[in-house]
């Protein structure tokens, strides 16, 4: 017998790149909330764990026309034919039909990293080392989120622990619907510029839904047709041009022509 799940919500985000000043509070809040261990000295930008990676992108113009935006890149919660879900050999990645959240089940993960190769946004991270916290940091670990071990993959799950807490609170109040004020991901909460808006994309009256339909809103790699649920907002033309460009040619690379 097939179980049908009614699509209730499609949680998504809109990130205002014009507001983001690259302070990194979102990345820190994310790490603290989700028990992401601090970097070891042996780690580098390619082997470290950052569910939310803040990437500075410049328009490559000279002063005074030079501009930089900071792009918080993390799991885009793809909805259509989710690349990572499809490839995982042991169902360690789940697409929740009720929320649209793509979550990783580290307890089941083999660590084959096929999902990392499949992700077009490079938003998945492997535990190359054993996680280590100092004694003081251990006391600050979030009891609602289980830390991951060496040899498994992890990624952003829109603070799933907070969703569970919101559901528990709603259930305690006798409601089956959560109050969206109770479910706010850590990065959204921490942003001093209020650059990240989170909510239900299925609710046409929600701010996130309205912003996602704004003409200044765009997504990355839309032609791959994975239908991500994270949107970016900018009024700068060069940001839109950059986002539409499939591949870039940076000055650092040795190129023909």
Partner 1 sequence: MDKKLIPRGLQRTSFGNFLLWLFPWVALLSVGLYAIYLCLAEGLNHTNMDNRFAFGLWIYLDLTIIALGAGAFFTGFLLYILRRHELKSVINSAVVLGLICYSGAVGILMVDVGQPLRAWFTFWHPNVHSMLTEVTFCLTCYLIVLLIEYVPIVLKNRKLRQIPKFLVFEFQLHKLMPVFAGIGTFLSFFHQGSLGGLFGVLRGRPFAFREAFGIWPSTFFLFVLSAAAAGLSFVMLTTWLVQKITKKQLVKPEVFKFLGKISGIMLSVYILLKAIDTLVWINATSLSAGFPAFEFYARKSFGTWILFTEIVVLGMIPALLLTSRRMRERPKILLLAGLMACGGIMLNRFVMTIQTLALPTLPFDAFLSYSPSWEEIAAFLFVVAYGVILYSLTYRYSVIFPQERELQSPVPVQYETQPFSERVAEKFFSALTFFKAK
Per-residue string for binding with partner 1, 127-166, x by CB under 8 A?
xxxx------------------xxxxx-------------
Least Å from the CB of residue 252 to partner 1: 6
> For residues 81-100, which are near partner 1 according to CB under 8 A?
81, 83, 86-92
Which of 39, 145, 170, 243 touches partner 1 (CB under 8 A)?
243
Phi, psi angles (nearest 5°) of residue 197: -115, 130
Structure tokens at 247: 């591949």
> For residues 8-47, which are near partner 1 according to CB under 8 A?
42, 44, 46-47
Q: Which is nearer to partner 1, 117 or 171 (CB)?
A: 117
Least Å from the CB of residue 58 to partner 1: 9
Residues 25 and 187: their CA atoms lie apart, in Å, by 7
Q: Are 74 and 230 within 8 A, CB to CB?
A: yes
- 253 lines the binding site for partner 1 (CB under 8 A): yes
**C-alpha angle 226-25-242 in degrees, rounded to nearest 5:** 40
- 226 lines the binding site for partner 1 (CB under 8 A): yes
142: Cβ–Cβ under 8 A, 6 or more apart, which residues?
32, 33, 34, 35, 161
Among 227, 223, 225, CA closest to 246: 223
Q: Which is nearer to partner 1, 17 or 201 (CB)?
A: 17
Block residue for tokens 């839309």: 222
- 119 lines the binding site for partner 1 (CB under 8 A): yes
- 255 lines the binding site for partner 1 (CB under 8 A): yes
Q: Are 147 and 71 within 8 A, CB to CB?
A: no
State how far Cα 77 lies from the chain centre: 7
Residues near partner 1 (CB under 8 A) are: 42, 44, 46-48, 55, 57, 71, 73, 81, 83, 86-92, 108-114, 116-122, 124-130, 149-153, 220-226, 242-250, 252-257
């Amino acid at each position: 017998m097939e179980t049908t799940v009614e699509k209730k919500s499609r949680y998504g985000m809109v990130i205002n790149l014009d507001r983001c000043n690259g302070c990194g509070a979102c990345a820190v809040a994310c790490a603290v909330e989700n028990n992401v261990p601090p970097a070891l000295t042996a780690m580098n930008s390619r082997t470290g764990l950052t569910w939310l990676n803040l990437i500075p992108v410049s328009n490559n113009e000279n002063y005074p026309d030079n501009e930089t935006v900071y792009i918080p890149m993390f799991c885009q919660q793809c909805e259509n034919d989710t690349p990572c879900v499809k490839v995982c050999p042991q169902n360690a990645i789940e697409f929740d039909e009720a929320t649209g959240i793509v979550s990783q089940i580290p307890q089941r993960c083999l660590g084959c990293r096929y999902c990392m190769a499949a992700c077009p946004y490079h938003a998945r991270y492997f535990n190359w080392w054993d996680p280590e916290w100092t004694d003081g940091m251990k006391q600050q670990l979030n009891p609602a989120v289980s830390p991951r071990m060496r040899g498994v993959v992890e990624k952003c799950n829109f603070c799933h622990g907070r969703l569970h807490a919101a559901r528990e609170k709603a259930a305690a109040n006798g409601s089956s619907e959560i109050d969206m004020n109770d479910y706010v991901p850590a990065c959204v909460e921490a942003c001093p510029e209020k650059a990240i808006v989170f909510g239900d994309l299925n609710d046409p009256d929600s701010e996130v839904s309205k912003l996602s339909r704004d003409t200044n809103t765009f997504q990355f790699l839309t032609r791959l047709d994975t239908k991500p649920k994270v949107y970016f907002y900018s009024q700068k033309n060069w940001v839109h041009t950059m986002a539409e460009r499939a591949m870039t040619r940076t000055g650092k690379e040795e190129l023909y022509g």
